[in-house]
Amino acid sequence: MTLTVGTSAAPAGDAILRRQRIRESAARTYARSFPIVPVRANGMTVEGADGRRYLDCLSGAGTLALGHNHPVVLEAIRRTLDSGAPLHLLDLATAEKDDFTTALFESLPEKFAAKARIHFCGPAGADAVEAALKLMQTATGRRGALAFTGAYHGMTAGALAVTGNTAVKAPLPSAGEVTRLPYPYAYRCPFGLGGERGAELAAAYTERLLDDPSGGVLPAAAMILEPVQGEGGVVPAPDGWLREMRRITAERGIPLIVDEVQTGVGRTGRMWAVEHSGIEPDAMVLSKAIGGSLPLAVVVYREEYDSWRPGAHTGTFRGNTLAMAAGAATLRHIAANGLAARAETVGARLAARLDGARGRLPVIGDVRGRGLMLGVELVDPAGESDSCGARPANPGLAVRVREACLARGLIVELGGRHDAVLRLLPPLTITDEQADAVLERLCEAIEFAMREPAAAG
């Protein structure tokens, strides 16, 4: 393994990091995990101001489906700039918006797209979540929502209300009544069963709770879920459970919103994660990769719910012309080159090899995910197992592994209930050679972090 290693950050990089610490808010996150100053990036490779190069397995939290500065994306942006097209037009019709909408609808499940409407939101996925919830409240006349343990839907008020992480919710007032339901998590099953039986029980609990006249749950405006929980620790929902949620909501007239902000655009091995289960939601929330690396967020929903009045959900930056051009090019390139299927193949190989390393790396408790959305949960192998055989989460080790990865030229981030899950979100364009390098560096980092406490003592 060859790394370009600098002895210290370049003076300019040091100054930039110092000014960032002084001037930016205490809420900054990734900047704390990765104290580097990227100056160039291409594909999966990021180069810092100190001359070091890193393989990027964060990809803008899944935004960079084609990696950094892909030629198809750059060409779409340059073409749009050279054309003289207006870069900002609120929600007016443009050729670029029309082309993006066509490309997006062509990529969606055919039956869903045939009778769908699209709403362009503010540039972040959280705003699209807000729009979807407001839309269903308007259509149904109800206010409550059904959401799941482990969920993450954004940091604005409504999106935060349906998010599961109590640490980020506690300081803020409630944004409406939300009923929290169990999400199937095989490794740490909320019922202590795991596997198919745990998922079956989660579905049965949901159905009985909604039908219980003394269950305390008012008729909901919507159910919102992620087909794979990303920030929640890369927890994929079983296809059978997703089909049960669709049946349960359909039979009770509850709109189903599927949050594909992180799972969409080929990430899980299908263009859209709902395609694994075959369910047809009432609305899909889309952002991140749909903008081809630029800010863009939309809600696509069944036309029967299009009942809100003009101006019911607006935002100044709904008309990001460059993002629409880059997004359309990205969607078509992924479809034309079979990159979703490629993600499924490479992801399965990565998962199998990581799972196979558990014998020599006993701190790996679980390896899971779909396509190129993978999670490696780190545990204390000496801790007591729970009823499903899971050892206690080891967040301290996870932090040391992340640091050791960075030292070896690999960018990975953490997630999960205790921030003990290493999350891998490489671009769909990852090569076999890069995949091998990711595995090598990650396993080296885990081995090093396992030894570090004893070495430090």
Q: How far is CA 226 from CA 7, 57, 149, 154, 245, in A?
A: 43, 21, 11, 12, 12
| Banded pLDDT at 9 (limits 50, 70, 90) | very low
Q: Which of 316, 337, 358 is the last residue of a domain?
A: 337
Are 97 and 125 in the same domain? yes
Q: Please indicate, yes or no, whether residues 390 and 411 belong to a single structural domain of this protein.
A: yes
pLDDT at residue 194 tops 90: no
Query: pLDDT for 405-439, tens place per residue?
Result: 999 999 999 999 899 999 999 999 999 999 999 99
Stretch 104-125: mean pLDDT, rounded? 95
Write down the pTM of the prediction.
0.92
Starting at the edge strand that comes first in sequence, how are the strands of the sheet with 116-120 ordered?
116-120, 298-302, 283-286, 256-259, 222-225, 145-148, 178-181
Of 402, 322, 394, nearest in space to 364 by CA: 394
CA quadruple 150, 155, 159, 162: dihedral positive or negative?
positive
Backbone φ and ψ for 55, nearest 5 degrees, come out as -85, 125
Identify which has the larger pLDDT, 445 or 174. Answer: 445
Could you report the per-residue pLDDT of 266-313, keeping only the tens digit for each? 999 999 999 999 999 999 999 999 999 999 999 999 999 998 888 888
Q: pLDDT at position 310, please?
A: 86
- Whether residue 308 is contained in a domain is answered as yes
What does the H/E/C string look like for 425-442? CCCCCCCHHHHHHHHHHH
Residues 379 and 266 in one domain: no
Each residue's pLDDT tens digit, 320-330: 999 999 999 99
Q: What is the largest CA-CA distance in the chain?
A: 67
Domain of residue 48, CATH code = 3.90.1150.10
Task: Choose one of 337, 360, 387: the last residue of a domain.
Answer: 337
Is residue 365's pLDDT more than 80?
yes
Does 1 fall in a domain? no
Average pLDDT value for residue range 224-230: 97
Residue 217, domain member (yes or no)? yes
Neighbours of 193 (CB within 10 A): 17
Per-residue model confidence (pLDDT) at position 6: 41
What is the per-residue pLDDT across 132-155, written as a single tens digit (0 to 9) for each? 999 999 999 998 899 999 887 765
Token representation of residue 379: 């545990």
Is there a single domain that holds both residue 287 and residue 159? Answer: yes
Q: What is the mean pLDDT of residues 50-79?
A: 96
Q: What average pLDDT does the chain have?
A: 91
Residue 173 reports pLDDT greater than 90? no
Whether 132 is covered by a domain: the verdict is yes
CATH number reported for the structural domain that contains residue 141 in this entry: 3.40.640.10
Is residue 5 pLDDT above 50, yes or no? no
Of 337, 368, 385, the domain-final residue: 337
Question: Per the domain annotation, does 324 fall within a domain?
Answer: yes
Do residue 61 and residue 78 come from a single domain? no
- C-alpha 133: how far from chain center: 19
Q: What is the domain extent for residue 358?
A: 22-65+339-415+440-451
Number of domains within the chain: 2
Banded model confidence at residue 363, pLDDT cuts 50, 70, 90 = very high
State whether 324 and 226 are in the same domain: yes
pLDDT confidence of residue 281: 98
Same domain, residue pair 281 and 379 = no
Q: Per residue in 213-234, is it b (16+ CB within 10 Å) or e — as a string?
A: eeeebeebbbbbbbbbbbbbbb
